[in-house]
Structure 1
Amino acid sequence: MAIIRYTGIYNADGGVWGETRYVIGHMLGTAACSLCDITHSPIRRKPEWDAMVRRLGVPLEVRHRNEITEAETAFVATVELPVVLAHHDDGRISTALRNHELEAASGSVSAFESALTRSAVLA
């Protein structure tokens, strides 16, 4: 049951309105997403994030909560967002990293990579 890909799901909606609402909420302290803090600087996506994704060996895609598949929607109904899901070669979905693990990374791409690598060993 190998992991064939990962999906990171932000605790934010995509689209112009969703992203604008998140940015304003983040500035006001009413919206937070630990995965957003890992993947993005205040201005753009972090180059070290892109480099880490290339190193992983399996695809990792990040999506907003309003952009996920039906199977992912059903799965994340049982967990707190943001979350990183592992998709296995037998079709199973599991949780690779939960919100508290993403928060522990404190916005660090290298801490995220270490946590994801540890979770893959345990999967």
Structure 2
Amino acid sequence: MAEPVVEVVGVYDADGGVVGELTYVVGHLLGRTECSLCDVTHGPVRRKPDWDAMAARLPVVVRLVHRNETTGSERAAHDATGLPVVLGVRADGGHTVLLGPAALRALEGSVAAFETALRAALAVEGGAPGSPRR
């Protein structure tokens, strides 16, 4: 049996840092860049308050990173799937894809739909309801 998921990592299809974020914003405004995970977590100017409230309700910690901030094992996991992606980190350190690019795109930026989809994926993948929150 697979180890339970003890953490969720959302990986944006964008680079972090000032240059990366400005590049994304300009590309997004020009219609050249898209990240459906960004659409779920952020409004036009800042992170959505609904996102923070939803993340606090989840049974596991959610960590958000940009593609240039991922660890080697996270990179290996998202290289196989594409970006953006939501990964589950198992108790043994392994990764599983909880929500891939198509699933995230289908959410159309909805925090409520994200929560429903993530909870369903955690139920299938063995999310640890009793996992300690950090």
Match for 1:113 among 112, 115, 121?
115
- SS for the counterpart of 1:84 is strand
Instruction: Give identity over the alignment, percent.
Output: 48
**Whole-Å separation in 2 of the counterparts to 1:82 and 1:71:** 16
**Whole-Å separation in 1 of the counterparts to 2:4 and 2:96:** 11
Q: CA deviation at 1:116?
A: 0.3
The number of aligned residues is 123
**Whole-Å separation in 1 of the counterparts to 2:24 and 2:100:** 20
**Whole-Å separation in 2 of the counterparts to 1:71 and 1:26:** 28
Q: CA deviation at 1:121?
A: 1.2
Equivalent in the alignment of 2:27: 25
**Whole-Å separation in 2 of the counterparts to 1:61 and 1:90:** 17
**Whole-Å separation in 1 of the counterparts to 2:63 and 2:17:** 17
TM-score norm. by structure 1 comes to 0.98
Once superposed, which parts of structure 1, at least 4 consecutive aligned residues long, lie more than 2 Å away? none
Deviations 1:53-87 (A, max 9, x none): 10002100110000011111122111110000001
TM-score norm. by structure 2 comes to 0.90
Q: Tell which deviates more after alignment, 71-80 or 57-66.
A: 71-80
Q: CA deviation at 1:91?
A: 2.1
**5+ long unaligned stretches in structure 1:** none
**Whole-Å separation in 2 of the counterparts to 1:92 and 1:70:** 12
